[in-house]
Amino acid sequence: MTMTQPDLSIFQTLESEVRSYCRGWPTVFDRARGSYLYDEDGHAFLDFFAGAGSLNYGHNNPVLKRALLDYLERDGVTHGLDMSTTAKRAFLETFRDVVLRPRGLDHKVMFPGPTGTNAVEAALKLARKVKGRESIVSFTNAFHGMSLGSLAVTGNAFKRAGAGVPLVHGTPMPFDRYLDGKVEDFLWFERLLEDSGSGLNRPAAVIVETVQGEGGINVARAEWLRALADLCKRQDMLLIVDDIQMGCGRTGAFFSFEEAGITPDIITVSKSISGYGMPMALTLFRPELDVWEPGEHNGTFRGNNPAFVTAAATLNTYWADGQMEKQTLARGEQVEAALRAIAAEHPEEVADVRGRGLVWGMEFHDKARAGSVASRAFELGLLIETSGPESEVVKLLPALTISPEELDEGLRILARAVRETA
């Protein structure tokens, strides 16, 4: 792909140095449809990033766009805080009927604010209020958000350092296979809980991702998750599953914990819950945990009515018949086969291939290699990001609606990028 140098001056002179994704993709994007973005010069880029998992149904999905335009054209309520609106009613009824009831869940729905970290903050606050304890246990390489409470249960040292204040009341424990299976699951955790001399304050809750996306696509085994749920129950701790990036079908089922057969006390959902990439987040919890006083936790933008509209349309379109889960698992097999073929072609360079559904990672022994592969992929017309504590993993998050042909195209570009950065 031959690209002219885009005019990035306004971004470089006026926008904060904190910007990140744009540094790896030095162009100016203008429009998007399905699994493609187009820059202002008309170059097409196949998107294996999907808004960091916020665009599970592709860019400007026509079904969702039509629902949104119809709502706006009739002057539907745009901003409503937590007022009752027809858009909120339609979403709640659809979410109950399509998602909660078929899965035997009776969780209450809270709109904590527009982002994932809002959902996590609400979950942590609620757990502490219910249990009357301050400590929260998280896991190595976890990522739960960039606000202070979420950072306190996040593992990445670089992100934690940005807080500027002590991050307290969070205790990390080893994630599944963190110690390469050399230590029995939860041996250390349970020993600390049972030893009055351990120095571990009894936690209010444990927060976990079933697949650590930012942490490097670390996939927890179903048996490990079941053992964790059992430990929480025996030790009187609430189990919070952070399903912000891995929920909404990313791993196959609507919730990523379904495969393990567990029922979390609290669930956080965001990113693709609106379906259209608009800000929206949910904190779900068992009814007996609903101890909030009116207004005790609030936020100006917790009632994004256009997002309610596209969210309801998404659920009715993609989750009413069970086909999306089957399609995602099939596409996942296609990705896994291609990645394992790349690994077989480069056995001395690729350290591991791992994932579930349509979230996959390829780890390199040379930690800088992942960044080089992502840069070359961009030059070839593919958007992929890196993850892991040292950005050593190439991370694939294509839209769930991607076609097999588009998936093959992107995987071929990835294979070429790996070869050309050897």
β-partners of residue 386 are 394
Structure tokens at 369: 């290699």
- Per-residue pLDDT of 316-334, as tens digits, reads 999 999 999 999 999 999 9
Structure tokens at 390: 């040292």
Answer whether 147's CB lies under 8 Å from 117's CB: yes
Q: What backbone torsions phi and psi does residue 140 show, to the nearest 5 degrees?
A: -55, 140
pLDDT at position 5 is 84
395 membership: H or E segment, kind and range: strand 393-396
β-partners of residue 141 are none
14: left (phi over 0), alpha (psi -120 to 50) or beta: alpha
**Spatial separation of the C-alpha atoms in residues 275 and 278, rounded to whole Å:** 8
Residue 115: half-sphere exposure toward Cβ, Cα within 13 Å:
10
186: left (phi over 0), alpha (psi -120 to 50) or beta: left
**Spatial separation of the C-alpha atoms in residues 80 and 300, rounded to whole Å:** 9
Strands (E), 263-349: 266-269, 282-285
Structure tokens at 176: 């599944």
pLDDT at position 1 is 65
Cβ atoms within 10 Å of 301's Cβ, excluding its own: 16
Q: Walk along the chain (422 residues) and give the pLDDT tens digit of each residue.
A: 666 789 999 999 999 999 999 999 999 999 999 999 999 999 999 999 999 999 999 999 999 999 999 999 999 999 999 999 999 999 999 999 999 999 999 999 999 999 999 999 999 999 999 999 999 999 999 999 999 999 999 999 999 999 999 999 999 999 999 998 888 999 999 999 999 999 999 999 999 999 999 999 999 999 999 999 999 999 999 999 999 999 999 999 999 999 999 999 999 999 999 999 999 999 999 999 999 999 999 999 998 999 999 999 999 999 999 999 999 999 999 999 999 999 999 999 999 999 999 999 999 999 999 999 999 999 999 999 999 999 999 999 999 999 999 999 999 999 999 999 98
**Spatial separation of the C-alpha atoms in residues 330 and 334, rounded to whole Å:** 7
CA distances from 369 to 209, 217, 349, 358, 393 (A): 26, 17, 9, 22, 9
207 membership: H or E segment, kind and range: strand 205-208
Helices 305-318 and 86-94: crossing angle in degrees, nearest 10, is: 30
Cβ atoms within 10 Å of 127's Cβ, excluding its own: 25
Structure tokens at 373: 């592969």
**Spatial separation of the C-alpha atoms in residues 300 and 202, rounded to whole Å:** 34
Answer whether 174's CB lies under 8 Å from 137's CB: no
